[in-house]
């Protein structure tokens, strides 16, 4: 085999700036609204939960935003991440397509989430925050934030969706190893959690509910701020290091992508790989197709409505213009816990509305089929979330075979699945239900 399969950047080629797509949208993004007045949310409205430096970044229209040296020094633990060509998967599929994947699972927490956890902890430290409160689904965000808080000397409290707390003990232990306090949500530590428990003691919890608890904890404690692992503009911004590196690496590979894929829960890893490529698409330089892949059981982009909605169940967050299934939506406990969110990032939603991106939904059994095929051909066990992107890539690669067409497919492999083997167990033992009601997250 003579194809090069690894496209590595040197440390000094790590991006120095994040890319802000807000600067280039052909139509402005509708602003977040104050939940009470329904007027555009101001800096003052958000100061109760976020530090001012991050709010400024959330609202910034600056095109390229410099990554602070202190953040780059921590990124250097795992960045630049590799881009690989999946030649063995191509062979297994007998496809003329060329398949490339950007691998974000090399981070200490095993996913792309430290890309934003690190700068969020840094900016909070700078602003004098003592403790960060957050929610987590399957635990990837909680463990990423716990790691970043530890690096910058902040305390960290995590409200973890109850079903995952009990069924996925390893990420809880990872968070505790990094020094975080972890509560199963709904918990007795907040008024919202107690109210939920009184109404339904056996509630499995949801991300929307856990967000409500973390925000309440933040508002009631003045040294505490809140951190969100997806959805918001500044989170999408921080993730663009993925796409900036991928563009340079595709140059090394000497190919232009035809289609770019990312799985989409709240939309941040998808934004990370897609937005730098969309910059060129908007400038009319390139004609990539860009595809967000979501679970059929939580299909905000393909089945949701584009409207203002809350980010949480308690209706405390600003209203955001996004594709949403409604903030009371209780997603089934599918195995890809990281994709169980009722809404889609406003920036990603706006891309869909403007026709800059497409979206597809895939069923859970297809996702695991693709994940296992990938593990057996490439040797790497993908996170179930990432396997959504793989499933869409596999479909396209088969189409290329049937049409006898070579296309260059690039996807973000957002994390590894080494702490998700229980979900693989369910699949391998034939117990996985199809398509919307998996056994647990
Ligand atoms: C959290 C997570 C996701 C989903 O979050 P996005 O904000 O949509 O990127 C996807 N993949 C992995 C591995 C995750 O941990």
CB 123 within 8 A of CB 53: yes
Task: Please tell me if the CB atom of residue 348 comes closer than 6 angstroms to any atom of ligand 1.
Answer: no
Q: How many CB atoms lie within 10 A of CB 355?
A: 7
DSSP codes of every residue in 292-327:
EEEETTS-HHHHSEEEEE-SSTTS-SPBEEEEES-T
Whether residue 55 contacts residue 46, with contact meaning beta carbons closer than 8 Å, is answered with: yes
Domain-embedded: residue 337: yes
Residue 179 lies in a domain: no
Q: Which atom of ligand 1 is nearest to the CA of 270?
A: 9
Most ligand 1 atoms within 8 A of CB, residue of 269, 359, 386 to mutate? 269
Between CA 104 and CA 108, with CA 107 as vertex, the angle to 5 degrees is 155
Residue 330: inside a domain: yes
Look at ligand 1, atom 14, and give the residue with the nearest C-alpha. 338
DSSP one-letter string for 33-72: B-TTT-SBPPHHHHTTTS-HHHHHHHH---SEEEPPHHHH
Closest residue by Cα to atom 5, ligand 1, is 265
CA of 1 to the centre of ligand 1 (A): 33
Distances (CA, A) of 385 to 70, 220, 251, 293: 30, 34, 27, 10
Rounded to whole angstroms, the Cα distance separating 322 from 324 reads 6
List the CATH number of the domain containing 304: 3.40.50.1100
In the structure encoding, which two tokens stand for residue 354, read together? 């403007």
In ligand 1, the atom with minimum distance to the C-alpha of 229 is 7
> How many Cβ atoms from other residues are within 10 Å of residue 224's Cβ?
20
Domain for residue 304, yes or no?
yes
Distance 402 CA to ligand 1 centre (A): 31
Q: What separation in Å is there between the alpha carbon of 334 and the centre of ligand 1?
A: 14
Does residue 49 fall inside a structural domain?
A: no
Per-residue pLDDT of the chain (441 residues; tens, 9 = 90+): 567 899 999 999 999 999 999 999 999 999 999 989 999 999 888 999 999 999 999 999 999 999 999 999 999 999 999 999 999 999 999 999 999 999 999 999 999 999 999 999 999 999 999 999 999 988 999 999 999 999 999 999 999 999 889 988 899 999 999 999 999 999 999 999 999 999 999 998 888 889 999 999 999 999 999 999 999 999 999 999 999 999 999 999 999 999 999 999 999 999 999 999 999 999 998 899 999 999 998 899 999 999 999 988 778 889 999 999 998 887 676 666 667 788 999 999 999 999 999 999 999 999 999 999 999 999 999 999 999 999 999 999 999 999 999 999 999 999 999 999 999 999 999 988 754 433 332
Residue 374 lies in a domain: yes
Domain that holds residue 286: 6-13+69-110+234-428
**Is residue 230 lining ligand 1, measured as CB closer than 6 Å?**
yes
Residue 45: CB within 6 Å of ligand 1? no
Whether 140 is in the pocket of ligand 1, judged by its Cβ within 6 Å, is yes
When divided into structural domains, the chain yields a total of 1
Q: Is residue 268 part of a domain?
A: yes
**Residue 180 belongs to some domain of the structure:** no
Q: Residue 264 C-alpha to ligand 1 middle, in angstroms?
A: 7
Which residues neighbour 211 within 8 Å (Cβ) at sequence distance 6 or greater?
A: 135, 228, 311, 312, 313, 317
């Amino acid at each position: 085999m003579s194809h090069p399969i690894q496209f590595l950047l040197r440390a000094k080629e790590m991006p120095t700036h994040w890319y802000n797509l807000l600067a280039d949208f052909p139509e402005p993004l509708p602003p977040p609204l104050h939940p009470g007045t329904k007027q555009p949310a101001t800096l003052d409205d958000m100061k109760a939960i976020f530090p001012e430096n991050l709010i400024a970044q959330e609202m910034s229209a600056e095109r390229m935003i410099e990554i602070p040296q202190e953040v780059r020094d921590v990124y250097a633990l795992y960045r630049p991440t590799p881009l690989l060509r999946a030649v063995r998967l191509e062979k297994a599929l007998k496809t003329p397509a060329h398949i490339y994947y950007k691998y974000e699972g090399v981070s200490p927490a095993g996913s792309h989430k430290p890309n934003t956890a690190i700068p969020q902890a840094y900016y909070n430290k700078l602003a004098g925050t003592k403790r960060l409160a957050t929610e987590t689904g399957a635990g990837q965000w909680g463990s990423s934030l716990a790691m970043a808080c530890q690096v910058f000397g902040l305390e960290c409290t995590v409200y973890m969706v109850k079903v995952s707390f009990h069924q996925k003990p390893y990420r809880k232990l990872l968070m505790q190893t990094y020094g975080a306090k972890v509560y199963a949500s709904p918990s007795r530590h907040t008024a919202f959690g107690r109210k939920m428990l009184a109404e339904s003691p056996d509630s499995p919890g949801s991300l929307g509910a856990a967000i409500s608890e973390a925000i309440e904890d933040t508002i009631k404690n003045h040294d505490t701020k809140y951190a969100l692992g997806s959805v918001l503009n500044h989170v999408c911004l921080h993730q663009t290091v993925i796409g900036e590196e991928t563009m340079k690496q595709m140059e090394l590979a000497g190919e232009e992508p035809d289609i770019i894929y990312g799985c989409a829960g709240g939309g941040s890893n998808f934004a990370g790989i897609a937005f730098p490529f969309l910059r060129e698409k908007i400038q009319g330089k390139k004609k990539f197709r860009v595809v967000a892949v979501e679970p059929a059981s939580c299909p905000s982009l393909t089945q949701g409505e584009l409207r203002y909605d809350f980010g949480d169940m308690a209706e405390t967050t600003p209203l955001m213009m996004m594709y949403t299934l409604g903030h009371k939506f209780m997603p089934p406990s599918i195995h890809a816990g990281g994709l169980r969110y009722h809404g889609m990032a406003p920036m990603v939603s706006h891309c869909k509305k403007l026709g800059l991106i497409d979206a597809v939904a895939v069923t859970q059994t297809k996702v695991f089929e693709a994940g296992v095929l990938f593990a057996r051909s490439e040797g790497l066990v993908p996170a179930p979330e990432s396997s959504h992107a793989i499933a869409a890539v596999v479909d396209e690669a088969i189409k290329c075979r049937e049409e006898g067409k070579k296309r260059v497919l690039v996807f973000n492999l957002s994390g590894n699945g080494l702490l998700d083997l229980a979900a693989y167990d369910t699949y391998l033992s034939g117990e996985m239900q199809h398509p919307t009601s998996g056994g647990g997250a």
